[in-house]
Amino acid sequence: MTTSRAHAVSVGEPMDRVDGPLKVTGGARYSAEIPTANIAHAVIVQSTVATGRVVSIAAAEAERMPGVLTVMTPRNAPRLPAQQPNPPARRVLTLLQDDVVRYNGQPIALVVADTLEQATDAAHRVHVAYASTPPLIAMDAARGRRYQPTASMGRTPDSAIGDVAAGLASADVRIENTYTTPIENHNPMEPHATIAMWDGDHLTVYDATQYVIGDRDTVAKTLDVLPENVHLLSYFIGGGFGCKGSVWSHVPLAAMAARVVGRPVKLVLTRRQMFGPVGARPLTEQRIALGARRDGTLTAIRHESTSHTSRFEDFLEPAAMQSRMLYASPNIATAHRLVKLDLGTPTFQRAPGEATGTFALESAMDELAVALGMDPVALRLKNYAETDPENGLPWSSKSLRECYRMAGDRFGWANRNRQPGGLRDGDVLIGHGMATAVYPTNRGKASAIARLSVDGAGSVRGLVQTASQDIGTGTYTVMTQVAADALGLPVDRVRFELGDSRMPPSPVSGGSQTAASTGSAVHVVCTALRQRLAELAVGDDDSPLHLVAPDDVRAAGGRLYVASDPSRGETYEAVLRRHPDQALVATMDAAPGEEKKQYSMYAFGAVYAEVRVDRELGEIRVARVTATYGAGRILNHKTALSQLHGGIVWGIGMALEEETLVDTRTGRYINADLAEYHVPVNADVGTLDVTFIDEDDPHVNPIGVKGIGEVGITGVAAAVANAVYNATGVRVRDLPITLDKVLVATRA
């Protein structure tokens, strides 16, 4: 997909989105909107029981309905090779290969018809009989079956430094409590959507995905097709946040149906179908014990987390990971356990692990501060980790002290009333709370191709391509800036393209790694191409730069010049016109090296929140949030603020609203729509004041970025919960914080 913007803007400046005009004019085509001739429509039939077997599927009535092309069931679905899942990137898919029901909402049939209305109507006429068994849905009933999972994302589930039991025993003050977070469902504006079409043995798929290359490879493996015969395209994503990072059952089902009916098939999940078949944030129970001396020095940290997974696949919410590294203590132990429930497999949701884990840890730190009679910021500074407690490595950079100070000063933390309920505005209780934000800096191998050419008007233009994806975060824009900066061209002369599996591969847009991974590849290849152009000029007898040392050549605005004498130089056009036979194209990889063995790499932040709680109604409003982040180099100030604002808003929703309710008798999702599954709207969000620390990190990657997509949600729920305590004296340890949990106390 081609985008461009006529501005000369350098990296870091608040450049408008290059894809903005396409989006506001309707020119941006999402996966379900790609014009496709002779397209058929598919609708999934879902199970209405949680466990058991399908005894029979009566599809004759549906098959006779006008426009119906096929009803695909386990009886007639194409047979697929046995698949071995590779969690967490590959899911155990339910593709109509057997009659086993594993969770309520599982795909058990697929209706394909000429129109969406015909397919929907026919899907309601498919009658299913089950031999069901009682499901296990409640965590309380499953807690006794906890087990230790294998490694998660390359990290062990348990860790231990020192002797935690001894550290707790020697503490002057100890707190130990359990904190819980519920199942939370993704609700991006764009639901999952797929268009699949065959041309002989070649398959083209338009899919809403966060991982173009991974999507292609998984589809190919699942359908037993060569990867080079699968063309996967994903130009625009209407929000991902983790749920679109994996291939779910509907994607291969669409391709299977397209082969059966011999036509392109479109399959778009309904909002209700977004609950169950495509993952959710798992519920957690986290028990934290902290011990400290009277002066606030931590003597021990113990963080044990239990989260749920499906009966047929392990997915771990790594909620205790930040407790291994955030605060200095001689004794730290963490543990992760799973329980299997008869639900669909959970998945990544924005800052998986750290979002839920910082709620527990940062709430516990606030409780310890109260028990010590100590300011919460002072407690954190007392235990500030100068090196990573988990591995002893130095930080690649860490500006957390500055974050505490800057955000605290802007918030007015020094004037906070420590006494719960001590600050009022008539019948409204006002509370102030804070928490630390943290998220690891990740990076994967990425590749990119770049070209320089002269257009018909005589201007040199750059084209840069990589099979990454823009999940709504501004990847098109920041990569254009990175490419223009490295090429030495104005941004209006650079075109950046992504979303096509035939381009050089890039990793998943997850773990806040796209800017670091894909951005590094773009920077490296564009820098190399610019240097190749400089070498042409230096070796050219007719160039003003002839015999100049290559290291002394600079580039800006489409012009090469001598560093010590900017007047001596020439335009890119002049060089290329003298060398029309030179193909200025380069493909390069950028991959992590040994830096993670030498440094510990994280983005940090400080979050301060003010809440207002109605004494009579218990209604909680977040009046303002002030936050400061140290996240390396900021590629675009405007898109970065947008990312962090979105994370904070999500954190407010996590604190006060979001909760997926499941009927424990049937495994059915009770509030599977946006009328009953509450997310923040404008009226729920007060003033957001976000700032950055100017942080130079030469170690993390070639462009010095840390990623900001996920750090923005971390710490927010705890800051709000701590503010609610400060307002009411009620310590709510079970999210979400609803009015019934504070109402009795506020009326006292």
- In 3D space, the residue among 273, 286, 325 whose CA is nearest the CA of residue 47 turns out to be 273
How many angstroms separate the CA atoms of 79 and 54, rounded?
18
How many angstroms separate the CA atoms of 559 and 118, rounded?
60
Structure-block tokens of residue 704: 């010095």
Positive/negative CA dihedral, 490, 493, 494, 499: positive
Residue 433: its H or E element: strand 428-440
Judge whether 735 and 659 are in contact, CB under 8 Å. Answer: yes
Could you say which DSSP state residue 739 is in?
A: G
Judge whether 737 and 655 are in contact, CB under 8 Å. Answer: yes
Judge whether 366 and 725 are in contact, CB under 8 Å. Answer: yes
Q: How many Å is the Cα radius of gyration of the chain?
A: 27
Helix extents (H) in 309-437: 354-372, 376-382, 400-411
Structure-block tokens of residue 535: 């070498």
Cβ neighbors of 441 (< 8 A, separation 6 or more) are 396, 512, 516, 601, 602, 603, 632, 700, 706, 707
How many angstroms separate the CA atoms of 135 and 341, rounded?
8
Triad 616, 617, 621: Cα angle to 5°: 115
Of the listed 184, 304, 354, 710, which one is catalytic? 710
Could you say which DSSP state residue 79 is in?
A: P
Q: Helix axis angle, 354-372 relative to 716-728, nearest 10°?
A: 30
Helix extents (H) in 564-713: 572-578, 595-598, 637-656
Residue 745: its H or E element: helix 743-747
Beta bridge pairs of residue 662: 669
How many angstroms separate the CA atoms of 256 and 72, rounded?
9
How many angstroms separate the CA atoms of 560 and 538, rounded?
10
Residue 63 CB neighbours (<10 A) = 14
710 is catalytic: yes
Could you say which DSSP state residue 369 is in?
A: H
Structure-block tokens of residue 126: 């498919």
Q: Annotate 107-137 with b (16+ C-beta within 10 A) or e (fewer).
A: bbbbbbbbeeebbebbbebbebebebeebbb
How many angstroms separate the CA atoms of 427 and 616, rounded?
7
Reduced to 3 states (helix: H, G, I; strand: E, B; else coil), residue 620 is strand
Q: How many CA atoms lie within 13 A of 345 on its CB side?
A: 22
Cβ neighbors of 253 (< 8 A, separation 6 or more) are 42, 44, 72, 95, 96, 107, 110, 267
Residue 593 burial class via C-beta count within 10 angstroms: exposed 0-12, middle 13-18, buried 19 and up: exposed
Reduced to 3 states (helix: H, G, I; strand: E, B; else coil), residue 132 is strand
Structure-block tokens of residue 408: 């605290």
Reduced to 3 states (helix: H, G, I; strand: E, B; else coil), residue 621 is strand
- Residues with a catalytic annotation lie at 710
